[in-house]
Amino acid sequence: MTEEQKAVSSANDAAQSQSAASEAALEAMGYKQELKRAMSVPDMLVYGLIFMVPIAPFGIYGGVFGDSGGMPALVYLVGMIAMVFTAFSYATLSQAFPVSGSVYGYTSRGINKPVGFVTGWTMLLDYLLVPTLLYVVAAQAMSGIVPEVPALIWGILFVAINTFVNIRGIELTVIVDRVAVVLEILCLGVFVVMGALWIATDPLSNGFTIQPFYNPETFNPGLVMSAVSLGVLSFLGFDGIATLSEEAKDAKKGPSKAMVGSLLIVGFLFMLQTYIAGCISPDGAVFANDPDNAFYLVAEVAGGKFLYVLCALATAIAWGIFNSLAAQTAISRILFAMSRDGNLPKALAKVHRKYQTPYVAAAFVGALSLVLVIVFEQLGIDAISRLVNFGALTSFCVLHVTVVWHFFIKERDGKVFTHLILPLLGFIIVGYTWISLDPASKTMGIIWVVAGIAYYFVLHKVMKKNVDLEV
């Protein structure tokens, strides 16, 4: 056997050992291995990038620019810093509880079952609406390119494609993700190069400036944090990696590495593209009359109609197929975990014998997404995204509390910095962002939470349903 063959054999043995250890850890928590363990750390890293969408600012640039007083790059810098603390809390809990339910599973075990359910229910507001938001953005972008085809038709097409891939298996999803990340990085590279050349050489350019990060004329901490509540939407995908713990080859360390890594990479990419766009049109005059297509209009300045179409088409495909596929994958796993524990209809926990995917949950998410696309298409991007943020930010706050409660208070491990200071800082930052959400989003979000509490009370106190969850 050659040295190369020995290295491959050793790697395979290590992977098998990690998978065996991951399955043993899952069984120790009272579950059997049903989903297929096929995802390596690079696979999950790519999944996280696709979920967050390396070109996400393309679709919401106008709203972020306007809400931040013309400092879009600063929004993503602050948003990344805020999410780093949350990523550390996710990493800590994913190693302790390597299950598919993400924050639902962590809080159920780290605090108690009722808190876990309410947190999971709150997460549903986030995850159920994320695919809808993505389909609406993508459909609008495609409608702008091909106006003869109604946006709703594009939305239906995207839902059908992703539901098929999601049911077909996690390995097909991995292949699609790999292709997607290459295409998105290539598109971003074209924009950055053409944009930088325009800024450096065009007579109409104001040159490279710090204004996208700091504009003394408009800077206001409250204004920036309000914009972060919109911009942070772009970072939500890293937490989706936690839903793949039962499909990870190394469930203990793999998801945590992928979460932190993908967050830092995509944060840099967000700042790079919004900085270039901010330098091309520092005052936003280029898109003043059409903020929904802000980034594409900025791209047109630098690269003509070619770059406009390229960025719009990339947004449509990235959000409508690649990102929404990742979102549907994540929500189907959360539904699978909650229904497996008896908190949702048991049918959602059924796993396909051949593909080893939660196919009923995946089909349900596809059908629901189709209905929501039809209902919410007229509300606009900002309205949906702010509702999504309520669910995400609320669950993030509970996540940080869980770290402190489980490790520092209940376990008394004495790790002041990692299990007290870091999660408290994360809670403060996310909490401040939560406060900056608009009143309508908070009202609708709180109504959703109250409905969840009522449902849980009826399920477990009136109907006397027991949850098969070991904590």
Can you tell me whether residue 39 is helix, strand or coil?
strand
Share of the chain above pLDDT 70, in %: 89
Whether pLDDT at 8 is above 60: no
Cα separation, 39 vs 282, in Å, equals 42
Handedness of CA 95, 97, 102, 107 (dihedral sign): negative
pLDDT value at position 123? 85
CA distance 403 to 426: 11
Does the residue 19 lie in any domain?
no
Question: Does residue 435 fall inside a structural domain?
Answer: yes
Give the range of the structural domain holding residue 83, as residue numbers without chain letter.
Answer: 38-398+431-458
Q: How many residues does the chain have?
A: 471
Q: 113-145 vs 294-317: helix axis angle to the nearest 10? A: 110
Residue 394 is assigned to a structural domain of this protein: yes
Q: What is the pLDDT of residues 53-93, one digit of tens each?
A: 899 898 789 988 988 889 999 989 988 887 889 999 998 99
The predicted structure's pLDDT at residue 469:
43
Q: What is the pTM of this model?
A: 0.82
Q: What is the pLDDT of residues 374-401, one digit of tens each?
A: 776 665 566 666 677 788 889 999 999 9
**Tens-digit pLDDT profile for residues 330-379:** 888 888 888 888 888 888 889 888 888 888 988 898 888 888 887 766 65
Contact 39, 271 (CB under 8 A): no
CA distance 92 to 329: 23
Give 79-89 pLDDT, tens digit per residue.
888 788 999 99
173: domain CATH number?
1.20.1740.10
Q: Which tokens sit at 180?
A: 């997607």
Q: Are 290 and 300 in contact (CB under 8 A)?
A: no
Would residue 423 count as lying in a domain? no
pLDDT in tens, 201-253: 999 998 999 999 998 888 887 776 666 666 666 787 788 888 888 888 888 88
Residue 159 domain-assigned?
A: yes
Give the total number of structural domains in the chain: 1
* 3-class DSSP assignment, residue 322: helix
| 350 falls within a domain | yes
Residue 450 falls within a domain, yes or no? yes
